Amino acid sequence: MNKNQISILVGIVLLVLVVVGVYFIFFSTKEPSSEGTSTAQGKRILYYRDPMDPTMRSDKPGKSPMGMDMVPVYEGEEGGGIKIDPTTVQNIGVRYETAQRRNLSKTIRTVGKVDYDERKLFYVNTKISGWIDKLYADYTGKFVRKGDRLLEIYSPELVSAEEEYIIALKYKNADSTQTGEQELYRRAHRKLMYWDISHEQIQRLEATRQPEKTMALVAPATGVIVEKNVLQGGNIMAGTNLYKIADLSTVWVNAEVYEYEVPFIKVGQRAAVTLAYIPGKVIAGRVSYIYPYLNPDTRTVRVRVEIPNPNFALKPEMFATVELQSPVTITAVAVPEQAVIHSGERNVVVLSRGDGRFESRDVKLGVLADGYYQVVDGVQEGEKIVVSSQFLLDSESNLKSALQTMSPNGELPMDSASLPAGRQGMKQSSPNEKKLDSMEGMDMPQDKEEKPAEKNESAPLHKNHSK
């Protein structure tokens, strides 16, 4: 083989090597497209996303606006979240519940206090002044019936009025045709009636034609004397409240309800009342009134529940537990109360996607009733919700999102384009390097021990030279 043939053969070999190198450089390193691309695990790449902004997606690989490489998202990972080993899931005690459509009715439980029915409170007083001659209702708490005598009062004004009535009655009977006598009789009769003299007492006065020394005051209603302001032989003035009588056949229970619960209460709705005084017994009542103002100290609204009390079992000032069942029923998708993570501005639930995968999702909540939250948006019926250990899963999910924004070596990604002008192309120095750089150019002090030694050596030489 001559030299020309050898040269031609070497040239062909070099040409083949150049072609192969060009192929590997320009074709084998080309990024695969998202369609049909698989990883070693056989998962298909769905799209690419910005590592700093997960909402920015692309169907092709490339650079993000911040100069970072787009991160591939594989099939099965498009929803985000985390994946935990089944053994770990079992160890941390994760429990699930399926989001279902439920009938939600608000039940309000609060505390109340038994009080008098203000419409059945009565004051006993007199319109004349005098002295107590006899006292029948002589202690507080006594039960009286309507018409029972409470006391007898002696009043000179009353005796004079009775004598005037007897005289007018005589003139009326003597000459019933005279208009003046008839008018005198009507005035005397009206005066006694205005002083609350009963019709029976007036009839007895007409029958006996003798003025009575005392006048009896009777109970205006059946009830219990809750206030007594009179003693035997005491002097009383006109208008003085002598007794206060309460009819306890019906009582009120004033319940305190928080302001956010007021929209669920309507006048006429049923209420169940229980008392420690009568354990195990539920007393039925109805809401009769919702007060139009708020207690500024407790931030509650008073709700009046009216309850029949035929046996006087309910006594004023007793504490009671009141349960109000709202007449409003809402049918909606609901999740358990303990499944919701409240983080101030956000409400989060953790969903199970199967195979140990979990996802944190923001939800918009409605009313809370019977231990379930109404879900307005964020969760669909049939999705599996985590109801225990969701705090751990949500924290793990947030941690993963934070780590995905970091470079593989754990340092925050920094592109040269994001550096300030004048620092582009500079490498990041370690703290020790920075310290050494800052010390460059400084005059370092010499060893202090050497200077005195030099002076000591030079001194004798100078002395000898002088000699």
Mean per-residue pLDDT, 190-203: 86
Find the mean pLDDT for residues 230-235: 93
First-residue to last-residue Cα distance in the chain: 97
Domains recognised in the chain with CATH numbers? 3-74 (no CATH), 86-103+331-404 (2.40.420.20), 109-117+248-329 (2.40.30.170), 121-246 (2.40.50.100)
pLDDT of residue 410: 37
Q: Give pTM, 2 decimals.
A: 0.56
Asked if pLDDT for residue 437 goes beyond 50, the answer is: no
SS3 183: helix
What confidence tens digit (pLDDT) does each residue in 369-404 have?
778 888 998 888 989 888 886 556 555 555 455 444
The mean predicted confidence, pLDDT, of the chain is: 78
> What mean pLDDT is predicted for residues 45-65?
77
Q: Count Cβ atoms within 10 A of the Cβ of residue 11 and give its class: 0-12 exposed, 13-18 middle, 19 or more buried.
A: exposed
Write the pLDDT tens digit of every residue in 303-338.
999 999 988 999 999 999 999 988 767 788 999 888
pLDDT tier at 44 (50, 70, 90 boundaries)? confident
CA-CA distance, 164 to 427, in Å (whole number)?
122
- Whether residue 428 has pLDDT greater than 50: no
Query: What is the pLDDT, as a whole number, of residue 314?
Result: 93
Greater pLDDT, 432 or 145 = 145
Using 50, 70 and 90 to split pLDDT, how confident is the model at 350? confident
- Does the pLDDT of residue 219 top 90, yes or no? yes
Query: Under a CB-based contact definition with an 8 Å cutoff, are residues 151 and 217 in contact?
Result: yes
Q: Quick one: pLDDT at residue 176?
A: 59
Question: Which pLDDT score is estimated for 175?
Answer: 67
Percent of the chain with pLDDT over 90: 30
Question: Is residue 215 classed exposed, middle or buried when 0-12, 13-18 and 19+ CB atoms within 10 A define those classes?
Answer: buried
Bridge pairing between strands 364-369 and 372-377: antiparallel
